[in-house]
A and B are shown apart, each in its own frame.
Chain A
């Protein structure tokens, strides 16, 4: 495994491919060539509801290469989960209008029928959910469930599937994998169930993993273990990872690039190191400030973002964050344009910090 692809977080000045997408469609890269596995361009999702059209995602653009992680950070209503489901083709066809382009290894996914998409889903691109208790079948043994994932994508004998499942359980560091094979989800702890979910996701050797709030439902110590596990697995399998979360701390530690979303739009996007060194968007700054950190003196009021998360069906004109922004001015009634700096960072604000 090439070193360039495997070093992460602590050393961001190493020869990592800067992730850049020139809007004209060419790709520039420096360092060793590594394939852009997933390329999302100007993804838009509109939900056509009974009385309104809700623009859930407006213009999401990013790409991930093998061995890299991009974090999509936002609160509820930001559009991050919708983005994940749009990429996987899991949005309801009747109400969700999906525009833009999602390319996996150069092939356009949004044009595929459900049957064609199923070839990719679970095999090349996998989605790990937040709450494993909801995604695991409580009446089936976990070994059987993972085997089911194997059987649905390849011809494999039961004996081979069993072996592979045990291998997978070991890969996610579940002790006594042979015995665990026969257990039911409710017999496992939350952290173990999430490992089972990850094992299921890895069963067919995916190239891209989308993790939608994978640790939100877990304790802080389990979270650390699962994130470390994901990091190791990514290195071993050279996967591209899209990490969706609301936790800036996780983003800081486990991603190469971060895109901050608000009200369906990307408001700031940069490599992780650069983002945390220089936060440009007031929302990102406010988000960081409103998290009580251990160093924050007790009982001193947190700097709060006033107001509430936006109602997507009734957005104000211009910048969606303006009603809550300390620095809002008249110009903010005009939608800020997403600007790109020379390094390839992006932000959408008239008055960046």
Chain B
């Protein structure tokens, strides 16, 4: 047993998630109550100190639910979430308070993640007060530091209310607040999706700089592939509650192994002007997690689906070091279509 449970032995992961399952009760279309939906069905992944794991998926794939489950904002049905050596799922709410110092989250809509009646400097100071860190002067100093870190100025922005800020500025405030207690892992749940393109770039650069200066790790969740790839060391592609592919960012994009990854990549509008080839195969309606297809969940939209796919759910297999895919007939990496 470690004497200091919060320090990691070298080589250990910062976050280990094993077989995470999150369920909630749903009323079905026909009005039947009590049906259970598995938004997340057995996810496993690791994040090492200083690493960024990107998670990509479309609406309904369960990525936001996963983020909340990791944070224990919604308790998972089963599975382990081991952060800095402790299994968070087994901790009481009270014990979690201490852990929360090191594990923070940024939400998609910056304006609803801060109290609209509070001033910026109070918003950032709040975590310090909650955890009893320092006296008022020390706190003020820290707030100034944090604002500076995210590119704001306490004299200009400190007294403002959120509605007097732009989307980008407000997101910076949310980031500053999350950094107040020196977290080690930041979960970014669509943190840049609601920002303008030019501001998005600024915030992404900020996140990169913070990572370098503070040694942060990120769990970066988004639906925009290019953004995720840009920020991440490794990327996982999620579909209906499971990962279908996971691997190093560059490799995933150059040589995707799973047909869903290929479809996602092709659907991105690009300035070259070539329309997507695969959109028709994807079908009109995304299957819902209430009644997932048997076997491989992607098979109803997959151009290569065969009998086996309906019978047996593919498990994640690592075809190359660090590059895994859950598919019975993955893209042949030798003959994968050239990307243009």
- Name the contact of B201 in the complex, choosing from A222, A252, A290 (C-beta under 8 A): A290
- Within the complex, the shortest CB–CB distance from A150 to chain B, in Å, comes to 23
- Chain A residues lying within 8 Å of B233, measured Cβ to Cβ, are 298
Q: A225 and B284: CB pair below 8 A? A: yes
- Chain B residues lying within 8 Å of A227, measured Cβ to Cβ, are 269
| Total of A-B residue pairs, C-beta within 8 Å | 142
Task: Tally chain A residues at the interface, Cβ within 8 Å.
Answer: 49
**A224 and B58 alpha carbons, distance in the complex (Å):** 13
Give the dominant DSSP class at A's interface. Answer: loop
Asked if A287 CB lies within 8 Å of chain B CBs, one says yes
- In the complex formed, the residue of B with least CB distance to A231 is B275
- In the complex formed, the residue of B with least CB distance to A273 is B273
Q: A292 and B196: CB pair below 8 A? A: no
- Within the complex, the shortest CB–CB distance from A257 to chain B, in Å, comes to 14
Asked if A220 CB lies within 8 Å of chain B CBs, one says yes
Q: A252 and B284: CB pair below 8 A? A: no
Q: B282 and A219: CB pair below 8 A? A: no
Q: A220 and B271: CB pair below 8 A? A: no
The contact string, 1 if C-beta is below 8 Å from chain B, for chain A 258-284, is 000000000000000000100000000
Q: B231 and A287: CB pair below 8 A? A: no
- Chain B residues lying within 8 Å of A223, measured Cβ to Cβ, are 267, 269
- In the complex formed, the residue of B with least CB distance to A290 is B201
- In the complex formed, the residue of B with least CB distance to A248 is B271
Q: B275 and A292: CB pair below 8 A? A: no
- Within the complex, the shortest CB–CB distance from B166 to chain A, in Å, comes to 5
Asked if B315 CB lies within 8 Å of chain A CBs, one says no
Asked if B229 CB lies within 8 Å of chain A CBs, one says yes
- In the complex formed, the residue of A with least CB distance to B288 is A189
**A192 and B59 alpha carbons, distance in the complex (Å):** 13
- Chain A residues lying within 8 Å of B285, measured Cβ to Cβ, are 175, 189, 191-192
Asked if B224 CB lies within 8 Å of chain A CBs, one says yes
Interface size class of B (residues with CB under 8 A): 35 or more
- Within the complex, the shortest CB–CB distance from B275 to chain A, in Å, comes to 6
- Within the complex, the shortest CB–CB distance from A86 to chain B, in Å, comes to 22
Q: A246 and B58: CB pair below 8 A? A: no
**A163 and B167 alpha carbons, distance in the complex (Å):** 46
- Chain B residues lying within 8 Å of A305, measured Cβ to Cβ, are 198, 201-202
- Within the complex, the shortest CB–CB distance from A74 to chain B, in Å, comes to 9
- Chain B residues lying within 8 Å of A292, measured Cβ to Cβ, are 201, 204, 226-227, 229-230
Binding site for B on A (CB under 8 A): 9-10, 75-76, 173-175, 187, 189-192, 218-225, 227-228, 246-250, 252-253, 276, 286-288, 290-294, 296, 298-299, 301-306, 308-309
| Beyond A191-B285, A225-B284, A288-B271, 15 additional pairs, beta carbon < 8 A | A75-B196, A174-B284, A190-B59, A192-B285, A220-B225, A225-B279, A250-B269, A252-B271, A290-B200, A291-B197, A292-B227, A302-B230, A304-B198, A305-B202, A306-B202
Binding site for A on B (CB under 8 A): 29, 58-60, 166-169, 196-202, 204-205, 208, 223-227, 229-233, 249-250, 253, 263-265, 267-276, 279, 282, 284-286, 288, 339
Among all A-B residue pairs, the 6 with the closest Cβ atoms: A249-B269, A219-B58, A290-B201, A292-B230, A224-B267, A75-B196
